[in-house]
Amino acid sequence: MVIIDGKTYYTTADAAKALGVSAKTIRSYIDKGIIPEPPEVQSGLRTFKHFPQDYMGKAKKILENYRRQQVTLRKDKQLTIF
């Protein structure tokens, strides 16, 4: 969490903790387009991704659906093997 001018911004690490995955996984999901790119905040020369609460709620639902689809795909593959 970063506080700039009295306003709280949630970082990749905060998002990872809230979603139950690593920061590396969050970045990977964003790069692969599984979850949308979060807004960016600039502080001086530094720009970082900000994960607002409404974004986190949407990302959580997207990830739940994504995981559900992955499990279904795995089950389908197992069924066709035997």
3-state secondary structure 40-74: EEEECCEEEECCCHHHHHHHHHHHHHHHHHHHHHH
Return d(Cα 35, Cα 40) in angstroms, integer.
15
The residue type at 8: T
The residue type at 23: A
Q: Rounded to the nearest 10 degrees, what angle do helices 12-19 and 23-32 cross at?
A: 100
Q: Identify the pLDDT of residue 78.
A: 57
Check whether domain 2-81 has CATH 1.10.3470, yes or no: no
Phi, then psi, of 67 in degrees rounded to 5:
-65, -40
pTM: 0.76
Q: Identify the pLDDT of residue 81.
A: 47
Where do we find the tokens 């409404």?
54
Model confidence at 79: pLDDT above 80: no
Q: pLDDT, tens digit, for every residue of 6-63?
A: 999 999 999 999 999 999 999 999 999 999 999 999 888 989 899 999 999 999 999 9
Model confidence at 2: pLDDT above 80: yes
Q: Identify the pLDDT of residue 82.
A: 46
